[in-house]
Amino acid sequence: MSVPITFLKGVKTIRAAQLAKLGVYTVEDLYELYPKSYEDRSIVLKICQLEAEQSVTVRGYVKSVNVHRLNNKVSVTNLRIYDETGNMRISVFNGKYGQMQFNVGGLYAFYGKVIRDSYGVSMTNPAITECSDGSDNSFFTMQPVYPLTKGLTQNILRKTVAEALKVAPPSYETLPKAVLDKYGLLRRDVALKNLHFPASSEAAKESIRRFKFEELFTMQLMLLMLKDEEEKVQNGISFKNAEAENKISEFISALPFELTEGQKKVWREISENMDDCRAMNRLVIGDVGSGKTVLAVLAMLKAVSAGYQAVFMAPTEILAEQHYNSVSKMLSPFNIKVWLVTGALNAKEKRETLSAIESGEAKCIIGTHALIQPTVKYGRLGLAVTDEQHRFGVRQRAMLAEQANTPDVLVMTATPIPRTLALILYGDMDISALKTLPRGRLPIKTYALDYSMYKRICNWILRLVGEGRQVYMVYPIIEENEELPLHSASDRYNELSNGIFKDVRCGLLHGKMTSAQKESVMRDFKDGKIQILFATTVVEVGVDVPNAVLMVVENAERFGLAQLHQLRGRVGRGNLQSYCALFSEKITERMKIMEETTDGFELSEQDLVLRGPGDFFGVEQHGLPPFKIANLYRDTEILQLASRAAKEVLANREHFGDFLQYIRKKYPQRVQL
């Protein structure tokens, strides 16, 4: 079924190597080289109608032809052409392979980008055809624009694809007929022809829709099947155990607070998974401050009380340490020693810890991803919890696969994900939403401001600092540069720490610093040694500085809602009233939304509606293979249909045996997600 690309006329070693650079080895690969866009040569305009920067076709008679030789390889042919509305210039650069011949008085069509300057309108290197009798009508159609690589031109690719469609036309279908019919999708062979050489822009759109649908549908199906299969895996662990239940009750009643309704609900969900002998793969999504850590501790306590080891992984050392401190405190009444594994351990400590992990003596282990190095051997691992690592990667999965029984996995994140996207991004996981904040937490007050308020906010910062509070100031860039007229962390730091904040302890944090430098600045801020921290967005998620009560963001128009929400979550972590001041020359819609909404889930839905620039809730960290044609930002309607179709197919799986088999083959490396 797979026809090598060299089967095509004119594709020899060199061309094949060029195509290989685009990932094209077979004719099928060539078909799936989706056009980036199209040249629509069907729009023919008169010379007087041409506007600068438009790409269109004009038809005109040649009035004069002048050839200039620029050097011995290149010459330029300058044409003057006219129609009944005016005249214009056409320049064609010719390589050493000779020049195109033009007849004065002949009628030609030119497709290209219109240039308008003081000499009038012109085109440079347009596509050209002669419009005499028997001329080529295919010129006036939609032409695909492909990604290129050195040595390939659009014309070569177009010819190669056209040749392939002729001698090895697409022969098979990749979607079930029932799905094509129900969702009104084009057949694959028709869609491929239309995708590469569409008869109209509608035809192109319909084909694109089919391939987007296919991509989202198969990915969704694969994730749902993965979840299905994992659920069938019976070599998971059941942590159901009477003694563990007692400890959990004891722990909950000893907490200095009552669990929120949301925490109770999510804990029930986790607990049920853990009782079951199928392995858990659950994602807990809860805004910053919603109290996810205590859920992790409950799960660890349950695993440990049932005689297993539990690990808790954080993305950075500071966060690991922070978790170590709070978890140790919470577990100390239960005589459970908590072990911390970071780069700060000396060789002896490290050896001792590793051997305790291997022997099973260390039951409750916290650290960074150092915990999944191959050098770390687990005696009896039962549970892995990760914080802000949205999906278990290859290494993590390999580590789990090594265990005698498949450990349960609990993933925690503060990044809310719009419901429609969660379907596909995390289709292989069960999802718990933690929607309530602990009682008594004061909502952060947010202000969208223009620079007329800057001075006043600076004075306010001085007062806050005078009262012993701390402040974050966040910038889109590290240093000022001419291309971007933006405020930067370094420049503001230099300006303000020598100006209005000269008596305040200021610090600077950005991505060009080494991780040791960053950690040390962050620690100084945490310890109160720094009062105002000027930073880029590297300020970590999840770092707890309850004394920081104000987050200032300059050039706030440069950030997406997701990022603003995450930045804002770095204050308001204690009982103090906290604030967020967003500055911009011109207050934007997004800033106003931030002013009105503190609920991350609602913001993530708004983000989907706005589809603005910048980052996007949940999409950055999803860890799925890249999409070739679908765009999660824009194709949400197709995504919803595709998800529905995937569920329908699985619900009637007995009718789709061959197709499901095909999907399994299509994603052989699916465990690498």
* Binding residue count for ligand ADP, defined by CB under 6 A: 14
State in angstroms the smallest separation of the CB of 510 from ligand ADP.
24
Pull the structure tokens for residue 430.
């069960």
Is the separation of the CB atoms in 245 and 299 below 8 Å? no
Is the separation of the CB atoms in 391 and 227 below 8 Å? no
Residues 248-287: x where in contact with ligand ADP by CB under 6 A, - otherwise, as a string? ---------x-xx--x----------------------x-
- Residues 233, 236, 239: CA angle, nearest 5 degrees: 145
**Integer Cα distance of 605 and 600 in angstroms:** 9
Is the separation of the CB atoms in 620 and 425 below 8 Å? no
State in angstroms the smallest separation of the CB of 288 from Mg ion.
7
Is the separation of the CB atoms in 251 and 298 below 8 Å? yes
Residues 204-243: x where in contact with ligand ADP by CB under 6 A, - otherwise, as a string? ----------------------------------------
**Integer Cα distance of 285 and 413 in angstroms:** 5
| 389 interacts with ligand ADP by CB under 6 A | no
Name which of 8 and 297 has its Cβ closer to Mg ion: 297
Q: Are strands 408-413 and 381-387 parallel, antiparallel or unpaired?
A: parallel
Name which of 327 and 533 has its Cβ closer to Mg ion: 327
State in angstroms the smallest separation of the CB of 295 from ligand ADP.
8
Pull the structure tokens for residue 369.
């991803």
**Integer Cα distance of 349 and 355 in angstroms:** 10
| 290 interacts with ligand ADP by CB under 6 A | yes
State in angstroms the smallest separation of the CB of 30 from Mg ion.
48
Q: 259 is in the binding site of which of ligand ADP, Mg ion, none (Cβ under 5 to 8 A by kind)?
A: ligand ADP
Is the separation of the CB atoms in 175 and 662 below 8 Å? no
Which CA distances in Å does 599 have to 105, 145, 518, 616?
A: 69, 43, 30, 16
Outline where DSSP puts E strands in 165-297.
281-286
| 286 interacts with Mg ion by CB under 5 A | no
Q: Where are the alpha helices (DSSP H) in 498-556?
A: 515-526
| 385 interacts with ligand ADP by CB under 6 A | no
| 294 interacts with ligand ADP by CB under 6 A | yes
| 570 interacts with ligand ADP by CB under 6 A | no
Q: 310 is in the binding site of which of ligand ADP, Mg ion, none (Cβ under 5 to 8 A by kind)?
A: none
Residues in contact with 248: Cβ distance below 8 Å, sequence separation at least 6, in sequence order:
271, 298, 301, 302, 305
Count CB atoms within 10 A of the CB of residue 544: 19
| 542 interacts with Mg ion by CB under 5 A | yes
Name which of 379 and 546 has its Cβ closer to ligand ADP: 546
Judged by CB under 6 A, the chain residues 344 through 383 that form the site for ligand ADP are none
Name which of 187 and 441 has its Cβ closer to ligand ADP: 441
Task: Give the residue nearest to ligand ADP (CB).
Answer: 291
Which CA distances in Å does 21 have to 29, 246, 415, 440, 445?
A: 12, 61, 36, 59, 52
Q: Are strands 120-124 and 86-94 parallel, antiparallel or unpaired?
A: parallel
Name which of 143 and 436 has its Cβ closer to ligand ADP: 436
Q: Which of 41, 292, 435, 622 binds ligand ADP (CB under 6 A)?
A: 292
Residues in contact with 250: Cβ distance below 8 Å, sequence separation at least 6, in sequence order:
334
Q: 622 is in the binding site of which of ligand ADP, Mg ion, none (Cβ under 5 to 8 A by kind)?
A: none
Task: Give the residue nearest to Mg ion (CB).
Answer: 542
State in angstroms the smallest separation of the CB of 416 from ligand ADP.
12
Q: What's the half-sphere exposure (Cβ side, CA atoms, 13 Å) at 619?
A: 24
Q: Tell me the one-letter amino acid at 364.
A: C
Name which of 214 and 540 has its Cβ closer to ligand ADP: 540
Please identify, among the stretches 13-21, 278-286, 497-505, 538-546, the one whose residues bind Mg ion according to the rule CB under 5 A. Answer: 538-546
Residues 431-450: x where in contact with ligand ADP by CB under 6 A, - otherwise, as a string? -------x------------
Q: Which of 289, 315, 379, 612 binds ligand ADP (CB under 6 A)?
A: 289
Name which of 296 and 530 has its Cβ closer to Mg ion: 296
Residue 412 three-state SS: strand
**Owner of token pair 């003694």:** 243
State in angstroms the smallest separation of the CB of 286 from Mg ion.
9
| 144 interacts with Mg ion by CB under 5 A | no
Which CA distances in Å does 189 have to 12, 194, 387?
A: 26, 9, 46
* Binding residue count for Mg ion, defined by CB under 5 A: 1
Residues within the interface to Mg ion (CB under 5 A): 542
Residues within the interface to ligand ADP (CB under 6 A): 257, 259-260, 263, 286, 288-294, 414, 438
